[in-house]
Amino acid sequence: MEQASWFDFVEKERDPVYEELQTLTEENPKIRIASYTITLNPFALIEIESDGIHDCVSNIEACYAYLCNLNK
């Protein structure tokens, strides 16, 4: 049985992680969320980096889902 998060039951727009991902722009191409560095690269792809992790996704929703799945 998995432990549920409060954010599993509310809109993702209220999740602070999703809110922080929304600040990722060409003017602000790099953010840190916990131990992860999230970078918007010149090809408009989002790179997710941490110890032993270097993955790439195509949009903020995919990045949010990736981060949520890492923490389950």
Average pLDDT, the chain: 89
Closest CA to 33 of 42, 45, 24, 43: 24
* pLDDT attached to residue 11: 72
More confident residue, 20 or 5: 20
pLDDT digits 0-9 by tens, 19-47: 999 999 999 999 999 999 999 999 999 99
Q: Is there a contact between 35 and 51 (Cβ–Cβ < 8 Å)?
A: yes
Neighbours of 48 (CB within 10 A): 19
